[in-house]
Structure 1
Amino acid sequence: ITARFNRNILTRINRELDAAFRLETFEHYAFYNAGQSRVEMHLVSTEEQVVDVFGTAVAFSVGESIHTENSYKYSPDEFMQLAATAGWHTEQHWLADKKLFATYLLRSS
């Protein structure tokens, strides 16, 4: 499902920017970038190709990627500090099993 969602950006570029991406020539690739505390989504070209995007030729080498998304990951303390900086107070939070996910109840400060 995530791969289809990620490739959908090419479908939209084809439709909205009159491009000619062939979806089958790009593979979904996701990884955790520990230095940036984020999951990155990329679409990687599986072949050397040139794609027309709104009248401009864009060349891709085999293995070259389009960086499509970042999903940042925060510890509870990091998130609460970020929320406070934005003017929110953490009233309560709940951690899922293994503490991989959390839900926060925030109030405007």
Structure 2
Amino acid sequence: ILNAAYNDQAGVTAAFNLNVLTRINAELATNLDPKHFLHHAFYNTEKGRIEMHLHSRFAQTIYVNDQSFALAANESIHTENSYKYTTTELQALAHEAGWHAKNSWQDEQGLFAVYYFSATD
């Protein structure tokens, strides 16, 4: 399910990820061409997160201000982490931060939940 969501056939997530390069170009006047990168997303079981990367299609040099950065073919720019928690993990994390769950809503399969947290008294 996660793989399908982050590697959707319509390419919505890929376009979102590649837009990072467009934003960097606008902010830093770089030469990052989104057509020179491939979107790659996968679930990292060790870290409990989806990782999104952009892989260079070929060796290229990126310029930012007066500095240059060489990217090898297939070298990755790590653009995002999206952590996934079990109910127990999420509640423990919230508790450590001084929050407690006042209510929650979950889908029938138990794959997705929305929580309403409140600061612990």
TM-score by length of 2: 0.86
Task: Give the structure, 1 or 2, with the largest relative contact order (CA under 8 Å, sep 6 or more).
Answer: 1
Q: CA deviation at 1:95?
A: 1.5
Amino acid in structure 2 at the alignment position of 1:70: N
**Distance in 2 between the 1:26 and 1:43 partners?**
6
**Distance in 1 between the 2:118 and 2:13 partners?**
32
Q: Note the aligned Cα RMSD (angstroms).
A: 0.9
Amino acid in structure 1 at the alignment position of 2:40: Y
1:73 equivalent in structure 2: 84
Amino acid in structure 1 at the alignment position of 2:54: L
Tell me how many residue pairs correspond in the alignment.
109
2:45 equivalent in structure 1: 34
After superposition, residues 50-65 of structure 1 pair within 5 angstroms as: 50-65=61-76
1:2 equivalent in structure 2: 13
Correspondent of 1:95 among 100, 106, 110: 106
- Structure with greater strand percent: 1
Deviations 1:15-70 (A, max 9, x none): 11110011101011000000000000000001111111122111111110000000
Identical columns (%)? 46
2:8 equivalent in structure 1: none
TM-score by length of 1: 0.95
Give the gaps of 5 or more residues in structure 1.
none
Q: CA deviation at 1:98?
A: 2.1
